[in-house]
Amino acid sequence: MVLSWLMSFEERGEGGQTQTHRKAVDAGSRGGDIDRMSLPPAAEPNDARKPKSSLLGFFVVLQIGFLAVSNGIGWLQDVREEMNPAVKDAVKKVASDWPSKEGPLWETTHAAHDLTRRYAEVTGQFQTWCLFAPSIGRECVFLSLELNFADGRKQVRLRSDNEPPNPTSYLRVGNFRLRRIENNLTLTLREWEGETDEDKKKRWASKIKEFIDEYERILAAYLRWRVNAWQVEHPGEPNPATITLMMRRYHVNDVDHERYWEGPFEVPVGVFGLESGAFIERYDPVVGRLTKAAP
């Protein structure tokens, strides 16, 4: 019964009216009694549906463009970070400045990637492809701090609460928000297969400089927060004069390897001045020591 009514309701005539609706109106014009509450509603005019359809179409096109640009440029930027010297030389013949993050091509792609990243964060679509096969991440990096005091007292080492004391046996409970912020503040410094030691050091030096330049403000807030949390647990302790930021990396081996993991491999990144609120030294792998940071 309901299905028959729906089918008759969908048989539309001129002006968007259904056959049932027209018959009822005709009967009313001949003086018949009609229960108006039983009449099916008239169809929505096509003109009223156009704005909604246009908005939906715009959103679909916008989303397709976002996915193409975000994934495409994001992939290219990841590839640029992982290019070995031979591939980088070949790319330079086509786009000479792009591998060095210079020139109009780099500026255009970087601006587009930054725009899509902000859109992804606002709409809750941000994610990285290291979560999916075949390029699942093999490097686990944790932040570590060294608190250095002006009066010469012994340094205090603060490891991340996310780094398990025993990597062979642990269970993570809580600290989800801490993992989220620290995962965005880690820097992976690893060797590439076939890479010379000289090329590795130059690449690491470039990555450390870019990392501090891009994340210095967030790192400053994080480091102050870590110091405040430590002082709450150790009342009466003074502020450190400087904080050395370290990266502790574990490498996950293949399943058939004798050991599940290798490490930790520890590399300093820079020295943060608590009073100045900036990094006063950066680690330079080329010379193998901390050097004064350029203003």
What confidence score (pLDDT) does residue 72 get?
A: 80
What confidence score (pLDDT) does residue 218 get?
A: 94
Q: Residues 6 or more apart from 239 whose CB is under 8 A from it?
A: 227, 231, 274
Start-to-end Cα distance in the chain: 80
What confidence score (pLDDT) does residue 228 get?
A: 95
CA atoms of 33 and 27, how far apart (whole Å): 8
In the predicted structure, residue 78 carries a pLDDT above the cut 80: no
User: Can you tell me the mean pLDDT for 76-103?
Assistant: 70
In the predicted structure, residue 3 carries a pLDDT above the cut 80: no
Q: What is the mean pLDDT of the chain?
A: 80
In the predicted structure, residue 54 carries a pLDDT above the cut 90: no
What confidence score (pLDDT) does residue 15 get?
A: 45
CA atoms of 274 and 284, how far apart (whole Å): 21
Question: By the 8 A CB rule, do 142 and 128 touch?
Answer: no
Residue 18: pLDDT band (50, 70, 90) is very low
- Bond into 134 cis (ω within 30): yes
In the predicted structure, residue 295 carries a pLDDT above the cut 80: no
179 against 103, higher pLDDT: 179
204 against 67, higher pLDDT: 204
CA atoms of 129 and 144, how far apart (whole Å): 26
pLDDT tens track for 192-203: 888 899 989 999
Q: Which residue type does 69 have?
A: V
Please give the share of the chain, as a percent, with pLDDT higher than 70: 76
What confidence score (pLDDT) does residue 59 get?
A: 85
CA atoms of 25 and 29, how far apart (whole Å): 6
Tell me the domain boundaries of the chain: 2-43, 48-129, 139-292
pLDDT tens track for 105-153: 878 887 888 888 888 878 877 766 555 566 677 889 999 999 999 998 8
